Amino acid sequence: MSAPNVTGHTFMRSIGCLLLLLVVAGLWTGTAVARSYQFDAIQARFPDVAIDKAQTESARMQGECLVGLKALNFRGNQAAFDPVAEWSNFRTVSLLEQFSPCEVLAMMEVAHERLKTPEGAADAPGSEAGRAE
C-alpha cells in the first residue's frame, strides 16, 4: 500500500479553510470580549451596586450631550480658522470641570448662536456697543 497522494491543491485548500476558521474564531472571540465591557453587561455582573433605571437614563443623556458638544465644537469648515469654535472648544473643557455635559451644551449652544450673529457680538462685553453702555 502506498501513502495517499496529497496534491498541492488539496493542501492549499486545507490551509485556506484552517485560516478562515481561525479568522472567524478570532472575530467571534473579539466581539464576545468587546460586549463584556459594555455598560449593560458590566451592570449585570455587579447587580448589588448597579445604578437604577433613572440614573442609567440620566447617564445616557449626559453621554448624548457629550456627543452634542463635540458636534457643536467641530462643525463647519475645518480648513478655515474659526475663532468662535476655537474659543468654544477651550471653554467647553473648563466648563465640564464645573457643570454636567448637558448644562455645558445648553450654555455653549446659546454662546455659539449669540457670537455668530452681529447683534450678539455687538452686545458682548468688551465690544464697542458693550463699552458705550
Amino acid at the residue 76:
G
What is the rounded distance in angstroms from the CA atom of residue 93 to the CA atom of residue 69? 10
- Mean pLDDT value across residues 66-84: 82
Contact 22, 28 (CB under 8 A): no
**pTM score, two decimals?**
0.59
DSSP string, 35-58: HTTSHHHHHHH-TTT---HHHHHH
What is the rounded distance in angstroms from the CA atom of residue 34 to the CA atom of residue 42? 11
Amino acid at the residue 131:
R
Which pLDDT score, from 0 to 100, does residue 79 have? 74
**pLDDT tens track for 41-68:** 999 999 999 999 999 999 999 999 999 9
Locate the domains of the chain by residue range: 1-48, 51-127
Average pLDDT of the residues of the chain? 80
